[in-house]
Amino acid sequence: MENVYTKVFNLKGYYFTKEYDKKKINKVKVRRVLDDTVLKSFKRGDCNIEIYFEETGKSIMITPDTPRDTVLKYLGEKFAPEF
């Protein structure tokens, strides 16, 4: 199973979240995570990042195979693969 992180854009900036499945209480918990945590997983190629815009409700899925210009546009230089 691949990890899915969500980058949420709002009027004050952005933050990353991850959903955790709580088996004991059958609940999904959402927690904020650090940029570096997402960066490590993305560079290894074992996660997808969903870009979500709160104002418009628009959502875009970024995978490690996504073209470099799209990664640069939504995630920035440090997430873009080097060629």
- What is the per-residue pLDDT across 3-49, written as a single tens digit (0 to 9) for each? 899 999 999 999 999 998 888 888 888 899 999 999 999 999 889 99
Rounded Cα gap, residues 15 and 10, in angstroms: 9
pTM as predicted:
0.86
- What is the per-residue pLDDT across 24-33, written as a single tens digit (0 to 9) for each? 888 888 899 9
Rounded Cα gap, residues 80 and 19, in angstroms: 24
Rounded Cα gap, residues 82 and 51, in angstroms: 21
